[in-house]
Amino acid sequence: MFSQAHIRVTFDKHIAFLVIDRPEKHNALDNDDIDALLAACALIETTSQIRVVILSGSGGKVFCSGGDIMAWSALSPLDFGRHWLRRGHMAFDALARLRQPLIAVLNGHAFGGGLELAAAADFRLMESHARIGLPEPGLGVIPGWSGTQRAVRRFGAANVKRMALFGEMMDAPTALAAGVVDEIVPQESGLRRARELAIKVSEKAPVAIEAVKMLINTAEGEEGGRAAEALAGICVGYTNDLQEGVQAFREKRSPVFQGR
């Protein structure tokens, strides 16, 4: 089990459960939570038996309300841009680029950075009572954790404009019809449905699933060169030439490569 700031991770066989546990603050994220998300992703990424990740918020009312206003409103403009936004991007990028598929359970409202957090997932379940939106411009700020970038790639520019420019809040049926979420489930049933989906994923070939996710991410501009290098590195890792090169280095001789 991992627990840092308001971020908890538990493992159950091949599934990791990543929970934002700050219901008294509507699961808002502060600086420590951003650092904890990065640490949690590093743990999940390197835990070999984990094949799928489920992300949710605690409390049942709010999935995540985004960045804690008290945390970022006290920052200078330079610190806000250099640290708060950049660090948040690092954490959300780490989530989006996990080798394992990520299922987000919107078991409550997802506003601002909370919706940007959900955008990092590969599949979004939305409970019937939840609402989503990007209200940042109403506070005089921008959707800064890739709300104008990844959210556009995942949700489409028109939907992001509806929420960010015109302040529209989407209920579950509207979000499903717009393609912002993938499935609606009854209230309090999101985690059960997510587990069912996670089990289906975990029963498939994990290396194939990992490769497919990286290729899809590359196609939509999420991964770039990192995926190509990772996949190429895996291929090279299975060659006899790699073993010969390492062995020759250890024996301080010239390698004899066979091209296989």
Q: Are 218 and 212 in contact (CB under 8 A)?
A: no
DSSP state of 246: H
State residue 81's pLDDT score. 82
pLDDT tier, 249 (very low <50, low <70, confident <90, very high otherwise)? confident
pTM here is 0.91
- Minimum mean pLDDT range among 83-97, 203-217, 241-255: 241-255
Mean pLDDT, range 46-67, rounded to an integer:
96
Helix residue ranges, H only, the chain:
31-45, 69-72, 77-79, 86-96, 113-119, 150-155, 157-164, 172-178, 190-202, 206-219, 225-237, 240-251
Helices (H), strands (E): how many in the chain? 12, 11
Query: 251: which 2 tokens?
Result: 């024996």
What does the block give as tokens for 22?
Answer: 């700050």
Percent of the chain residues topping a pLDDT of 90: 73
Record the tokens describing residue 235, joined without a space.
């291929």
Alpha-carbon gap, residue 122 to 228, rounded angstroms: 19
Q: State pLDDT tens for residues 1-30.
A: 899 999 999 999 999 999 999 999 999 999
> What is 2-202's CATH number, 3.20.20.240, 3.40.640.10, 3.90.226.10, 3.20.20.70?
3.90.226.10
Active site residues: 116, 136
Q: What are phi and psi of 205, to 5 degrees?
A: -65, 115
Q: Are 51 and 206 in contact (CB under 8 A)?
A: yes
pLDDT classification of 229: cutoffs 50, 70, 90: confident
pLDDT at site 244: 80
Per residue in 108-162, pLDDT (tens digit) is 999 999 999 999 999 999 999 999 999 999 888 889 899 999 999 999 999 999 9
Nearest-Å Rg of the Cα atoms of the chain is 20
168 CB-near residues (< 8 Å, 6+ apart) = 133, 162
How far is residue 251's CA from residue 243's CA, in Å, rounded to a whole number? 12
Is 80 exceeded by the pLDDT of residue 228? no
pLDDT, tens digit, 9 for 90 and up, residues 70-107:
888 887 888 888 888 889 999 999 999 999 999 999 99
Binning pLDDT at 50, 70 and 90, where does residue 234 land?
confident
From the list 93, 101, 120, 55, the residue with the least C-alpha distance to 205 is 101
Residue 79, pLDDT score: 84
Does 223 score more than 90 pLDDT?
no
pLDDT tens-digit series, residues 157-179: 999 999 999 999 999 999 999 99
Among 241, 222, 128, CA closest to 184: 128
Percentages of the chain per state (helix, strand, coil), in multiples of 5: 50, 20, 35
State residue 168's pLDDT score: 96
Three-state DSSP state, 256: coil
Give phi and psi for 111, each to the nearest 5. Answer: -115, 145
The pLDDT of residue 242: 80
Q: In which band, very low, low, confident or very high, does the pLDDT at 241 lie, cut at 50, 70 and 90?
A: confident
Q: On the CB side of 177, how many CA atoms lie within 13 Å of its CA?
A: 5
Q: Residue 139: exposed, middle, or buried by beta-carbon count in 10 A (0-12, 13-18, 19+)?
A: exposed
Mean pLDDT of the chain: 93
pLDDT given for residue 178 in this prediction = 97
